């Protein structure tokens, strides 16, 4: 019997999607204002988040619920290492450390992995489906905005083991719908997904200061004027909305 979790997650996180649309860092990114210092820091932050998430999912891969949503082809850690080596050099591990918002995100992932592992479903959904949905668009913007050389600096967006993201997302949503969760547990997963969006937004908001220093306050204000016709590319369900061109 289907739990309709995929639909419930999409509907239950709409407000979080709306908040994501208005994040200054994302609006500037979508309009091509990609500043290398901020971008490489974002990748560093993602490295700590994905390392925490993937370590926990690996440790729980035989969990009766999480095992049904365990897809190693989604893993981003090795791709992030490629990008961090490009931006920071071979000693990148000595150059990066988690920001305050990043540490809070990591702490939450590790906390729920111990206290209530099923809530990791929300963190997996929020990050991985968002990456699959908006990845190719963001890759093109990053390459153009930073004038990157071919095949350098954007490995994060390449899912080499997922040749057809649209088909994979359908499989992922089907797996979500077949998780054996009661209504009360589904509500908890939705609440955690909204928290995951908030934690992600914290990463972006932290970087706005660096971006403003690089491009100037006036340009930042111009690029972030409110608009209603653009959706965050980090939305897990991009491509099912008409707000931004579908990537599928």
Q: What is the pLDDT of residues 111-122, one digit of tens each?
A: 999 999 999 999
**137 — pLDDT class (breaks 50, 70, 90):** confident
3-state SS, residue 39: helix
Contact in structure between 239 and 231 (CB atoms under 8 Å): no
pLDDT at 247: 34
CA–CA distance, 92 with 44 (Å, rounded to integer) = 9
Give the model confidence (pLDDT) of 176-189 as tens digits: 999 999 999 999 99
Please determine, for residue 242, whether its predicted confidence score (pLDDT) is greater than 80.
no
Q: What's this model's pTM, rounded to 2 decimal places? A: 0.87
Whether the Cβ atoms of residue 61 and residue 67 lie closer than 8 Å to each other: yes
- Structural domains of the chain sorted by starting position, each given as residue range(s) with its CATH number in brackets: 5-223 (1.20.910.10)
User: In the numeric block, which tokens belong to residue 31?
Assistant: 């309009």
Query: What pLDDT digit, counting tens, does each position of 62-75 carry?
Result: 999 999 999 999 99
Exposed e or buried b per residue across 34-57, where buried means at least 16 C-beta atoms within 10 angstroms of its C-beta? bbeebbbbbbbbbbbbbbbbbebb
Output Rg (C-alpha) for the chain, integer angstroms.
17
Q: Are 158 and 151 a contacting pair, CB within 8 Å? A: no
């Amino acid at each position: 019997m289907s739990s309709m979790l995929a639909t419930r997650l999409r509907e239950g996180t709409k407000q979080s999607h709306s908040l994501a649309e208005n994040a200054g860092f994302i609006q500037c990114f979508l309009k091509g204002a990609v500043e290398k210092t901020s971008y490489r820091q974002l990748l560093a932050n993602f490295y700590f988040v994905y390392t925490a998430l993937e370590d926990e999912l690996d440790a729980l891969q035989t969990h009766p619920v999480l095992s049904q949503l365990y897809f190693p082809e989604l893993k981003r850690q090795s791709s992030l290492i490629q990008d961090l080596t490009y931006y920071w050099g071979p000693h990148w591990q000595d150059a990066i450390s988690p920001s305050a918002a990043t540490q809070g995100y990591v702490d939450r992932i590790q906390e729920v992995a111990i206290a209530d592992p099923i809530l990791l479903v929300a963190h997996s959904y929020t990050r991985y489906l968002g990456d699959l949905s908006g990845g190719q668009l963001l890759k093109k913007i990053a390459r153009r905005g930073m004038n990157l050389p071919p095949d350098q600096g954007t490995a994060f967006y390449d899912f080499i083991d997922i040749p057809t993201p649209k088909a994979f997302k359908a499989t992922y949503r089907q797996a979500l719908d077949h998780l054996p969760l009661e209504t009360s547990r589904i509500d908890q997963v939705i609440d955690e997904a909204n928290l995951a969006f908030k934690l992600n937004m914290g990463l972006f908001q932290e970087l706005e200061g660096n971006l403003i220093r690089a491009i100037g306050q006036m340009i930042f204000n111009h690029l972030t004027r409110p608009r209603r016709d653009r959706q965050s590319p980090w939305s897990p369900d991009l491509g099912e909305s008409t707000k931004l061109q579908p990537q599928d």
